[in-house]
């Protein structure tokens, strides 16, 4: 019951955030020097074309009116049409966004699978060789840009060892997973570094807690003490951090999709930038931001489920 009320409250809180996202995305196009249409069409555009585009996009009306129109269209699921691809932006995003989400989910999973055991090893072997090695390696990983990690993995595991495809997305779900493995690993490395560091610290602060000693005094097996008593408490802060990292992960996905030629929303965005296809840039930015805010909701929920003290 508490939980349900909490969800409801959080959903209501989401509304102003979504409005703000819409406003920023709307204003984005108006940052353009001069008028957007001529910027889109280039210097040699005919005045007639410029006027036509301006009218099509509703750019000849006052700004607040334009924003209300933009919102109305949004509510009707209309994000405009792609100038380059001659399709509705919504249908483009419908094709491309699931790819990005699958990539992001996969890399989040890989990151967790990497971070969890390594954080335990590092924490339990604090300041000994294993800990120093793990932290050092991750620190180097954190200092590498995503595109470079991607290129390295692609060259070694793709081109050299030929274990994985060097790009593309495949046709079946299984082949999607296969194609996305290296990109997911690319994205996962820096995320897992951040998660590992945080979780290690959290484990260290929890492991000396009285309730952990009490659990040991009960004669519980070591594994149960670590998983139920240490990990559950340590995870609370890591889940918050995980939520905050989703934005970084999606930003990395944009780059990774470009490196591995994956037909996702991020690559769509970059291609649209090269083609000055502003409605698509707007649409993808909007959708990625919405994905982030929904993830915040999700991680908040997980946190409340992990920590009963928060639900009241």
Partner 1 sequence: MTFALSLRGQRRKTRARRIPVSLIVGGAMLAIQLLLAVFPSVFAPYAPDSFDYNALMQPPSLAHLFGTDNFGRDVLSRVIHAYSVDMQIAFFATVLPFLFGTSIGAVIGYTGGLAETIFGRLVDAIITFPFLVLVIAIVAVLGPGLNNMYIAVGVVDWVFYARLAVAEVKVQKRLDYAEAGRAMGYSPARIVFRHLMPNIITPLIVYWMTDMALAILLGSSLGYLGLGAQPPIAEWGVQIADAKNFMGTAWWMSVFPGVAIVVAGLSFSLTGDGVAEKMRTRR
Partner 2 sequence: MKAGLSLEVKNLSTTFETPLGAVTAVDGVSFDVHPGEVLGLVGESGSGKSVTLRSLIGLIHPPGKVTGQVTWNGQDLLSVPPGRLRRVRGGEIAMIFQEPMTALNPVLTVGLQVEENLRAHTALDRGQRRARAIELFDLVGIPDAKRRLENYPHQFSGGMRQRVMIAIALASNPKLLLADEPTTALDVTIQDQILKLILSLRDELQMGVVLVTHDLGVVAGTCDRIAVMYAGRIVESGSVLEIFDGPRHAYTRGLLASVPQAGAERGPLLAIEGTPPALSALPTGCAFGPRCSFANDACRATRPELAEIGPGRQVACLHHETVAASKGQFA
Q: Does 213 bind partner 2 (CB under 8 A)?
A: yes
Q: Which of 13, 113, 216, 227 binds partner 2 (CB under 8 A)?
A: 216
Q: Does 1 bind partner 2 (CB under 8 A)?
A: no
Least Å from the CB of residue 99 to partner 1: 16
Angle at 50 between CA 45 and CA 53, to 5 degrees: 130
Q: In terms of DSSP H, where are the helices of the chain? A: 2-30, 36-41, 47-56, 63-75, 89-124, 129-142, 146-153, 173-207, 210-217, 222-224, 232-259, 265-274, 278-306
Report how far residue 22's alpha carbon sits from residue 280's, in angstroms, rounded to the nearest whole number.
Answer: 14
Q: Does 164 bind partner 1 (CB under 8 A)?
A: no
Burial label, 119 (beta-carbon count in 10 A; 0-12, 13-18, 19+): buried
- Considering only residues 237 to 296 of the shown chain, the ones binding partner 2 according to CB under 8 A are none
Give 58 or 136: the residue with its C-beta nearer to partner 1.
136
The answer to whether 84 and 272 are in contact (CB under 8 A) is yes
112 makes contact, choosing from partner 1, partner 2, none, with CB < 5 to 8 Å by partner type, with none
Could you tell me which residues come within 8 angstroms of residue 284 by beta carbon, excluding any fewer than 6 positions away?
A: 93, 96, 265, 266, 268, 269, 272
Angle at 20 between CA 287 and CA 59, to 5 degrees: 80
Under rule CB under 8 A, how many of the chain's residues touch partner 1? 52
33 makes contact, choosing from partner 1, partner 2, none, with CB < 5 to 8 Å by partner type, with partner 1
Q: Does 254 bind partner 1 (CB under 8 A)?
A: yes
Report how far residue 261's alpha carbon sits from residue 167's, in angstroms, rounded to the nearest whole number.
Answer: 5
- Considering only residues 81 to 140 of the shown chain, the ones binding partner 1 according to CB under 8 A are 139-140
Give 233 or 299: the residue with its C-beta nearer to partner 2.
233
What residues make contact with partner 1 under the rule CB under 8 A?
Answer: 16-17, 20-21, 24, 28-29, 31-33, 139-140, 142-148, 151-152, 154-155, 159-160, 244, 246-252, 254-255, 258, 266, 269-270, 272-274, 278, 281-282, 284-285, 288-289, 292-293, 296
What residues make contact with partner 2 under the rule CB under 8 A?
Answer: 208-211, 213-222, 224, 228-229, 232-233, 236, 306-309
């Amino acid at each position: 019951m508490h939980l349900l009320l909490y969800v409801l409250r959080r959903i209501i809180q989401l509304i102003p955030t979504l409005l703000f996202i819409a406003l920023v995305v709307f204003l984005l196009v108006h940052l353009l020097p001069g008028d957007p249409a001529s910027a889109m069409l280039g210097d040699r555009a005919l005045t007639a074309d410029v006027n036509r585009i301006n009218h099509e996009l509703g750019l000849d009306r006052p700004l607040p009116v334009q924003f209300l129109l933009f919102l109305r269209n949004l509510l009707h699921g209309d994000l405009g049409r792609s100038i380059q691809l001659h399709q509705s932006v919504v249908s483009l995003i419908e094709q491309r966004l699931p790819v990005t989400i699958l990539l992001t989910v996969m890399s989040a999973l890989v990151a967790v699978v990497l971070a969890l055991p390594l954080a335990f090893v590092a924490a339990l072997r604090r300041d000994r060789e294993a800990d120093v090695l793990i932290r050092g390696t991750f620190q180097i990983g954190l200092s590498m840009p995503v595109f470079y990690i991607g290129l390295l993995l692609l060259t070694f595991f793709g081109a050299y060892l030929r274990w994985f495809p060097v790009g593309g997305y495949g046709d079946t779900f299984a082949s999607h997973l296969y194609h996305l493995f290296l990109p997911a690993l690319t994205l996962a490395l820096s995320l897992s570094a951040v998660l590992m560091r945080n979780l290690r610290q959290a484990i260290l602060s929890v492991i000396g807690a009285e309730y952990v000693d009490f659990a040991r005094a009960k004669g519980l097996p070591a594994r149960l003490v670590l998983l139920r008593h240490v990990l559950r408490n340590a995870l609370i802060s890591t889940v918050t951090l995980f939520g905050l990292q989703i934005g970084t992960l999606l930003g990395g996905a944009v780059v990774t999709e470009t490196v591995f030629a994956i037909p996702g929303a991020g690559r769509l965005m970059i291609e649209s930038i090269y083609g000055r296809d502003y409605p698509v840039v707007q649409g993808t930015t909007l959708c990625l931001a919405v994905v982030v805010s929904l993830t915040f909701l999700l991680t908040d929920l997980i946190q409340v489920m992990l920590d009963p003290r928060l639900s009241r």
